[in-house]
Amino acid sequence: MKFHTEYLTMNVPQRFQIVHITENVNSALKKSGIREGMVLVSAMHITAGVFINDLEPGIMEDIEEMLEHLAPYGPNYRHHRTGEDNGDAHLKNILVGHQVIIPITAGALDLGPWQQVFYAEFDGRRKKRVVIKVMGE
Amino acid sequence: MKFHTEYLTMNVPQRFQIVHITENVNSALKKSGIREGMVLVSAMHITAGVFINDLEPGIMEDIEEMLEHLAPYGPNYRHHRTGEDNGDAHLKNILVGHQVIIPITAGALDLGPWQQVFYAEFDGRRKKRVVIKVMGE
Amino acid sequence: MKFHTEYLTMNVPQRFQIVHITENVNSALKKSGIREGMVLVSAMHITAGVFINDLEPGIMEDIEEMLEHLAPYGPNYRHHRTGEDNGDAHLKNILVGHQVIIPITAGALDLGPWQQVFYAEFDGRRKKRVVIKVMGE
């Protein structure tokens, strides 16, 4: 069994931003030399997410609007008693999820025709990391 | 390490429908001959989901009602500027998630007594695929 | 490839409660002797969740408040026609998700500095199980 582990450093200047990272995942897969297995793509922070959807700007805005509606920035979350102001970002992480697993078949990401991988920053303006771990043979 | 990959073709006539697929996952496991490992069940589309819950029709209706409330069909999503009308389906995919990993122990799906696997179609009336990848020994 | 499987028994006296289980996952990892791979942590019930976030009590209360807002306890869910009263717990399971996969690198959980693993009980007062499966080399 072979393993290849990489870390992306994200440095998003906005509070909320969705970043397309399929090429980073593909690059890690190529370096791994793995032909069958899977790749785990996982945000290493509790105020960020990782998800798969379509590379279409309107969808990204629709996702932001929905998340702002379900877990709005600003209100007086209990988490803010610690001095933080990012309670909404923790809740967005819960709703979106922080990781995906992509199957690898015949040396390629076994994704559908429109599936792309995204990092979702919910509390930017600081460095964060994403782990990409390729596992298989 | 052994791998077995199958693709289900879903062809749901309704826009929204939940389909029970535990038997398809079990069938792939049997064909794989794998005794220890895991199986990844992942929708290959960005307007569908995969989840685990109870095989009880009332729950399926409750899930649909909640998702219609959180990401309703119809409103003028920004995604619709592309000519599509399925912005809600992309958001439902984000909320439900598109994949599950099921542990395999002693040659069987290591699920709890009521856990069943479901495909959730959010924008049917077209063919879609689900990848089932069994990995282990 | 090596495998190590453990089952936690949860016995939460409240209906809703979030329980910190990172140490249980670490303990399973140590027993496995696995240095590279991943660990799957998955609730074996359809009225519970597993997620990763920060070990901060305010966040746990914020998560509860959000989930009570999105899928409130009490209303007459269709699932209640079966005699159950936990329709909300099934919906909370859908929103939070029931599993996480944690990468293992150099013999340790490859988590970010604030990432901790939690079990979320949505319908307690009965015994439930969580499967922890460590896989790798």
Question: What's the pLDDT band for A119 if we cut at 50, 70, 90?
Answer: very high
Please count the residues of chain C: 137
Task: Say yes or no: A126 contacts chain C, CB-CB below 8 A.
Answer: no
User: CB-based burial of residue A28 (10 Å sphere; 0-12 exposed, 13-18 middle, 19+ buried)?
Assistant: buried
Q: How far is A120 from chain B (nearest CA, A)?
A: 12
Rounded percentage of chain A residues whose pLDDT exceeds 70: 100
Does B75 score more than 90 pLDDT?
no
Residues C6-23: what's their mean pLDDT?
A: 98
E strand spans, C2-126:
2-11, 17-20, 37-43, 48-53, 99-105, 108-109, 116-121
Q: How confident is the model at residue B85 (pLDDT cuts 50, 70, 90)?
A: very high
Q: Supply the pLDDT for residue C82.
A: 96
Token pair, residue A7, equals 């870390």
Residue of chain C with shortest Cα separation from A44? C112
Tell me what the pLDDT averaged over chain B comes to. Answer: 97
ipTM comes to: 0.97
Q: How far apart are the first and last CA of chain B?
A: 5
Q: Is B69 on the interface with A (CB under 8 A)?
A: no
The predicted model gives A25-53 an average pLDDT of 98
Neighbors of chain A with 3 or more C-beta pairs under 8 Å = B, C
Q: What percent of chain A has pLDDT over 90?
A: 99
Strand pairing partners for A10? A128
pLDDT at C40 over 90: yes
What average pLDDT does range C56-70 have in this prediction?
A: 98
Cα(B52)–Cα(B117) distance, rounded to whole angstroms?
5
Whether B137 has a pLDDT exceeding 90, the answer reads yes
pLDDT at A75 over 90: no
A48-53 and A17-20: which strand pairing?
A: unpaired
Q: Between A58, A95, A115, which is nearest B79 by CB?
A: A58
Residue C77's pLDDT is what? Answer: 98
Chains near B with 3+ CB pairs less than 8 A apart are A, C
Q: Which residues of C78-88 are buried (b: 16+ CB within 10 A; e: fewer)?
A: bbeeeebebbb
pLDDT confidence of residue A46: 97
Is C69's Cβ below 8 Å from some Cβ in B?
no
Is the CB of residue A94 less than 8 Å away from at least one CB of chain C? Answer: yes
User: Is the Cβ of B51 closer than 8 Å to some Cβ of chain A?
Assistant: no
Instruction: Give percent above pLDDT 70 in chain B.
Output: 100
Cα separation, B21 vs B33, in Å, equals: 19
Structure tokens given for B53: 């819950």
Q: What is the pLDDT of residues B109-122, one digit of tens each?
A: 999 999 999 999 99
* CB spacing of C63 vs A91 below 8 angstroms: yes
Name the pLDDT band for C122 (thresholds 50, 70, 90): very high
B119 Cβ under 8 Å from any chain C Cβ: no
Confidence of residue B69 (pLDDT cuts 50, 70, 90): very high
Predicted local distance difference test score (pLDDT) of residue C3: 98
Residues of chain B with Cβ-Cβ distance to C129 below 8 Å are: 112
Length of chain B: 137
Of C52, C54, C58, the CB nearest to A81: C58
**pLDDT value for A41:** 98
Taking an 8 Å cut-off on Cβ atoms, the answer to whether A110 and B131 are in contact is yes
Does C126 touch chain B if contact means CB atoms closer than 8 Å? no
**According to the model, what pLDDT value does residue A109 have?**
98
Q: CB-based contact (8 Å) between B100 and chain A?
A: no
Q: Over range A86-114, report the average pLDDT.
A: 98
pTM more than 0.95: yes
| Interface contact flag, A53 B3, Cβ < 8 Å | no
Q: Choose the mutation target among C53, C69, C118, C119 for the interface with A, i.e. most A CBs under 10 Å.
A: C53
* CB-based contacts of B17, cutoff 8 Å, min separation 6: B120, B121, B124
What is the overall mean pLDDT for chain A?
Answer: 97
The token duo for B119 is 């495909």
Q: Is the pLDDT of residue B32 over 90?
A: yes
Nearest alpha carbon to residue B97 among B60, B51, B41: B51
Domains defined for chain C, CATH in brackets:
2-73+86-136 (2.60.120.460)
* Distance separating alpha carbons of residues C102 and C39, to the nearest angstrom: 5
Q: Which residues of C touch A101 (CB under 8 A)?
A: 101
Q: Between chains, do C97 and B97 touch, taking CB under 8 Å as contact?
A: yes
Cβ within 8 Å of A, C 14-33: none
Confidence (pLDDT) at C75: 85
**Shortest Cα distance, chain A CAs vs residue B99, angstroms:** 8
Please tell me if residue B133 touches chain A, with a CB cutoff of 8 Å. Answer: yes
